[in-house]
Amino acid sequence: MILKVLRIFTIILSFFFLTGFVSVFSILGPGVTALTSGNLYKAGAQFIINQSIEKETGKDSLTLIKEEINKNLIKEEINKKISLNEDLRQLVEKRIKITRQKLENQNLQKLVKKRIMVTRSKLNLNNITQ
């Protein structure tokens, strides 16, 4: 007798899992809640909420939550990339400013040396050393 019930239960269980019949989980979840907590109102509310989510979106609550989490992760990755690009841009701009300043200083030193040479040549001070 027990073997016959076990065999029937195995056939029914394999039917649910092997045929891709996933909406059994929308009934199984509230059933487990009702059995573990003893709160039928909570289980009924959970079942009604799951059914309304499925009716609204066409997806079960687990799939909907999974997709929302993926969307949030993608948004965070995009924000990180934007932040990284902004940091890189600021770093490059800073280095460009430093390089320009160094070039201006070099050009200024060259100009001063040239002016000194021109002034020495005009004053005929090339032969005098300090």
pLDDT at 21 over 70: no
More confident of the two residues 129 and 86: 86
- Phi, psi dihedrals of residue 38, rounded to the nearest 5°: 80, 5
pLDDT at 125 over 70: no
Out of 34-38, 72-76, 112-116, which region has the weakest mean confidence (pLDDT)? 34-38
Amino acid letter at 80?
K
Mean pLDDT over the full length of the chain: 79
pLDDT tens profile 41-69: 776 777 788 888 888 888 887 788 888 88
**Side-chain-facing half-sphere of 34: CA atoms under 13 Å:** 12
- At 97 the pLDDT is 92
- 54/63 Cα distance (integer angstroms): 10
Q: Cβ contacts of residue 61 below 8 Å, gap of 6+?
A: 26, 49, 50, 53, 54
Global pTM reads: 0.36
